[in-house]
Amino acid sequence: MSFGLYAAGFAIIVIGLIYGAHLVHVPAEWIAVGAIIMIGVGILTGVKATRQKDPPA
């Protein structure tokens, strides 16, 4: 799976969570904090999931 596809899917999830938090009147500061954390987690898991294995030496 390519990193771009993984990132696009994760971005859709984050946008949905941001919209849901907005609908339940979560303060904007906390929405921003949650979004930043989720983006960081998405990058870390995306790199881990799509990283090429090192060839045996």
13-18 — which CB contacts under 8 Å span 24+ positions?
13/38, 14/38, 14/39, 14/42
Residue 24 resides in a domain:
yes
pLDDT tens-digit map of 1-57 = 688 888 899 999 999 999 999 999 999 999 999 999 999 999 998 888 887 777 776
Please check whether residue 14 lies inside any domain of the structure: yes
Per-residue DSSP letter, 28: H
Tokens of 11: 């971005």
Structural domain contains residue 56: no
**Structural domain containing residue 38:** 3-49
- Residue 1: the pLDDT is 63
